[in-house]
Amino acid sequence: MSPAPRDRFLEDAAAATADDPQRGFLRGALGGYYASRDVQKARYRDWEKARDAAALAKWTAVNRLDRNLARFEEAFVRNGGVVHWARDAAEARAIILGICREAGARSVIKSKCMTTEEIHLNDALEAEGFGVVESDLGEFIQQLRKEPPFHFVFPCMHLRRDAISELFGKHLGTPPTDSPEELTMIARRHLRDLYLRADIGISGANFLVAETGQVSITENEGNARLTCALPRVHIALAGIEKVIERLDDLAVLLPMLATAGAGQPMTCYNTLYAGPRRAGEADGPEAFHVVLLDNRRTALLADPEQRDALHCIRCGACLNVCPIFKNIGGFAYGTTYQGPIGSVITPHLRGLRNWNHLSGASSLCGACTEACPVRIDLHHHLLRNRRNAVRAHGGWADRLFHRAFGWVIARPRLFSLGGRLFRAALPVLRRLPLPYLRPWLRTRTLPEAAEPSFRQQAKEVLR
Amino acid sequence: MRVDLFIPCFVDQLAPRVGLATAKVLRGLGHEVAFREAQTCCGQPSFNSGHWDVAREAALRALDVFRGAEAVVGPSASCVAMMRKFYPEVLAGHPRAAEAADLAGRTFELGEFIVRRLGVTDVGARWEGKATYHDGCHGLRELGLRREARALLGAVRGLTLIEAEEQETCCGFGGLFSVKYPMISTAMAQVKSDALVRTGADIVVSSDPSCLLQIGGYLGRQGKAVRTLHLAEVLASR
Ligand code: SF4
């Protein structure tokens, strides 16, 4: 049996935090992002108002989700597409496999889509004998490495260029290079044929426009355009929270996605796909399917306190600023969605009992909440998850500890006495560490005990 | 004005000098300073650990302890944030929720109180040397304090303020997080402390004694000579 998620997390986080060069590399990589993000943010007349507008667009979409999804389906079908509803990962996989089989497909090309990671689609496709190729450069690299994405926006940000060059040399037989352009070209040359051969293109969706029945996809490499346009059949897999009401909402959401997530004014390609090829059109797929995935998103929708977590546009800004992410990296989370948003939603999507440790693994600094373009109350949701976990299945020892603590702090005399005893024992405690003190003392000292306490001195001083 | 001190439990027990300095600074500005002995801990350790029932009791107690106070001033942005932001949250829907909101409006972090409420930046302090300032996350993001402490330090005679890299990066304390996830907490302390040391400052100043516990503790283990001082201690020095 594989170890429990919490044990694995502790082990992986310990290993990652001990890797100083890798942590330094990540800090350096993100340093460039901060600089360009700040330049782009400064070009907004009022970034905070833009956040309000983006949050409102998503609030409206999510709080009228039932109507918006129905409107999207109606409009998308009118455009000639087919909509499928999947309650969970298994249903979504079955739907997609069914489409592939029916199309008599052999090979599948994919553009970047975290939702397919969420439902473990590649494994399912390969198990049925379909060839699957990732066309996003980062995802392509991770596929060659047989690793999940390190960061849900920058899948291979943990890799140095020489590691990528070496990887290409090993798998594609190309000579070593240090040029990012050359590395991109190697991947492109390799992928070009595969686009032409693929029967099915699978993409995600950044937004589903209810008003027009369009699928909005944002990318930097142009690979999604090929994935969506060249194969006979296009399947877009999207969580139900991707729907927005109006086409106009993109006017604020697209630039904010680019600026918050990648420090760009706009992502290079923002494309709206409105159904399959129509009579007289030169390109586009013969059939276009959208698979709408619930997979416990409706459970989050039913929680009024944390419903705003469904606002997420997966920009990745919260990861980029998170000191936990920067120190433990993306793999330690063991989740599809890393970083603060992952720590907030994974307990909802995969169960609080096994995943609450992610909510605990935060100093609650709030950098994520400050960065989030759609104003999700991220770090406070971690507190709410912790509370929910204590209520649902808190341990008795933990409960006893806090009850006792609460009992003592309600009694000033007892508190004072306890403080005295603690201070008296401190010189010994520093050498004979108790469970809570040992992890502290290993890397940090404790202050010398002061004598007497403030309250003892206050009587004199404040007379 | 009559100011009621709100002294964090670990300042009371382990760093009373910070409380004394706070009292001294406020008195120096001509205010009457009082300490209500019934106060203990704000309940944040339990709140952060998910035990909101324990935190709720602490909040209700604090409403009684600080009843009628004109201004409650504490030398800890973190504990003030607990009172201002999270008491209302744990008491949402409680019959005394309005009292919590009222107390929230009367509770201030020290630097915030002096600069925003009293409109003073020069408290007449003198400190010879180079200092760098660490923003505690609760002050920065829960209370929205950025310029207050810097304005106060800027007016201290003899003091040169050097800003550090990683200025708004968390020190990694996070209460019980520091002992439940010690490897992550320590990695964060390392990033933060290294940046502070690189400034070449003689002292690290912060408005949050808990951050100083973490940074000072880490620097202590590393054998670094940089001292940590609370903002109140600098402002109280002559
Ligand atoms: S939670 Fe906010 S910051 Fe994080 S990925 Fe989602 S939209 Fe971006």
Three state DSSP letters for A148-212: CCCCCCCCCCCCCHHHHHHHHHHHHCCCCCCCHHHHHHHHHHHHHHHHHHCCEEEECCCEEECCC
- For B186-218, what is each residue's pLDDT tens digit? 999 999 999 999 999 999 999 999 999 999 999
> Could you say which of A361, A389, A454 has the minimum Cβ distance to residue B12?
A454
For the CA of A311, the nearest atom of ligand 1:
7
Assigned domain for A447 exists:
yes
The reply to whether ligand 1 has any atom less than 6 angstroms from the CB of A55 is no
Assigned domain for A60 exists:
yes
- Statement to judge: residues A291 and A401 lie in one domain: no
Residues in chain B with pLDDT < 50? Answer: none
Per-residue confidence at A66, pLDDT binned at 50, 70, 90?
very high
The pLDDT of residue A427: 87
The pLDDT of residue A51: 98
Contact across the interface for B177 and A450, Cβ inside 8 Å: no
Which of A376, A378, A382 for mutating ligand 1's site (highest number of atoms within 8 Å of CB)? A376
Single out the residue in A245, A264, A295 at which a domain terminates.
A295
Q: How far apart are CA A274 and CA A303, in angstroms?
A: 33
> Could you say which of B23, B49, B182 has the minimum Cβ distance to residue A439?
B182
Assigned domain for A315 exists:
no
Contact across the interface for B49 and A439, Cβ inside 8 Å: no
Contact across the interface for B52 and A419, Cβ inside 8 Å: no
Q: How far apart are CA A65 and CA A85, in angstroms?
A: 14
Per-residue confidence at A2, pLDDT binned at 50, 70, 90?
low
Chain B's closest residue to A6, CA to CA, is B181
Q: How far apart are CA B71 and CA B4, in angstroms?
A: 6
Q: Is the pLDDT of residue A434 over 90?
A: no
Helices A137-145 and A180-197 cross at an angle (nearest 10°) of 80
CA distances A299 to A87, A295, A303, B16, Å, are 12, 9, 7, 48
Tally the domains of chain A.
2
For the CA of A340, the nearest atom of ligand 1:
4
**Averaged pLDDT, A148-176:** 96
Contacts of A413 (CB under 8 A, 6+ apart): none
Q: Is the pLDDT of residue A221 over 60?
A: yes
Which of A341, A344, A368, A375 for mutating ligand 1's site (highest number of atoms within 8 Å of CB)? A341
Per-residue confidence at A430, pLDDT binned at 50, 70, 90?
confident
CATH number for the region B2-116 comes to 3.40.50
Per-residue confidence at A432, pLDDT binned at 50, 70, 90?
confident
- Average pLDDT score, chain A: 95
Single out the residue in A275, A295, A315 at which a domain terminates.
A295
The pLDDT of residue A435: 77
Query: Could you tell me if the ipTM is greater than 0.90?
Result: yes
Contact across the interface for B12 and A363, Cβ inside 8 Å: no
Q: Is the pLDDT of residue A36 over 60?
A: yes
- What's the gap in Å between A311 CA and the centre of ligand 1? 8
CATH 3.40.50.11810 positions along chain B are 122-235
- Closest residue by Cα to atom 4, ligand 1, is A318
Cβ(A55)–Cβ(A311) under 8 Å? Answer: yes
Q: How far apart are CA A30 and CA A320, in angstroms?
A: 7
Contact across the interface for A436 and B179, Cβ inside 8 Å: yes
- For A264-323, what is each residue's pLDDT tens digit? 999 999 999 999 999 999 889 999 999 999 999 999 999 999 999 999 999 999 999 999
- What's the gap in Å between A40 CA and the centre of ligand 1? 17
The reply to whether ligand 1 has any atom less than 6 angstroms from the CB of A314 is yes
The pLDDT of residue A448: 84
Q: How far apart are CA A80 and CA A171, in angstroms?
A: 40
The pLDDT of residue B193: 98
**Tally of helices (H runs) and strands (E runs) in chain B:** 14, 8
**Averaged pLDDT, A159-178:** 96
Measured between alpha carbons, how far apart are the two ends of chain A, in Å?
A: 66
Single out the residue in A260, A295, A330 at which a domain terminates.
A295
Residues in chain A closer than 8 A to B51 (CB atoms): 387, 390, 394, 399, 402, 406
Q: Is the pLDDT of residue A243 over 80?
A: yes
Kindly report the CATH class assigned to B122-235.
alpha beta
**Averaged pLDDT, A361-380:** 98
User: From start to end of A38-176, where are the E strands?
Assistant: 82-86, 107-110, 131-134
> Could you say which of B7, B168, B221 has the minimum Cβ distance to residue A444?
B221
Global pTM?
0.96
The token pair that represents A125 in the structure block: 């496709």
- For A311-365, what is each residue's pLDDT tens digit? 999 999 999 999 999 999 999 999 999 999 999 999 999 999 999 999 999 999 9
> Could you say which of A328, A360, A406 has the minimum Cβ distance to residue B54?
A406
- For B25-57, what is each residue's pLDDT tens digit? 999 999 999 999 999 999 999 999 999 999 999
Contact across the interface for A364 and B23, Cβ inside 8 Å: no
Full domain range(s) for residue A417: 396-462
Contacts of B98 (CB under 8 A, 6+ apart): none
Q: Is the pLDDT of residue A385 over 80?
A: yes
Assigned domain for A13 exists:
no
